[in-house]
Amino acid sequence: MKIGQRGELLAASYLEKQGYQILSRNFSCKLGEIDIVAGRDDIICFVEVKSRRGAKYGRPAEAVTANKREHIRRTASYFLFSKWRDLPIRDDTCFRFDVIEIFCAEGGDVRVEYIENAFC
């Protein structure tokens, strides 16, 4: 299994353990892709997962560039437009953009860093 695929599985598991419901995984359209859409209480999160073997080349979240953030925002808008009937959206529902960093060390150790409200 590739590190990116493993990272997304670990991220989804982490979110579920934190009480989130996974609403969608790997949603894609012509505008871009969103790794995970998760909901809990009155929040729907659009989550970008970045996995690395270490921090030698910087933190994984640093790879979420301005261009990538814009693609995620546009894709999230399209996701909401196309899926709103299937989502647990109420008048007080909030939306946010999060990043989950997955560090997979060569010895098998895994560290998860969850960055809520990583960008607007």
Mean predicted lDDT score pLDDT of the chain: 92
Q: Are 72 and 58 in contact (CB under 8 A)?
A: no
Q: How far apart are CA 87 and CA 10, in angstroms?
A: 23
Report pTM.
0.92
Q: Domains, the chain, ranges and CATH?
A: 3-119 (3.40.1350.10)
Q: Is the pLDDT of residue 28 over 80?
A: yes
**Mean local confidence (pLDDT), 57-70:** 92
Q: In what order do the strands lie in the sheet with 110-119?
A: 21-29, 32-40, 43-52, 94-104, 110-119
pLDDT(120) > 70 = yes
Report phi then psi at 71, rounded to 5.
Answer: -60, -40
Mean pLDDT of 39-60: 90
pLDDT in tens, 68-87: 999 999 999 999 999 888 88
Question: Rounded mean pLDDT of 81-100?
Answer: 90
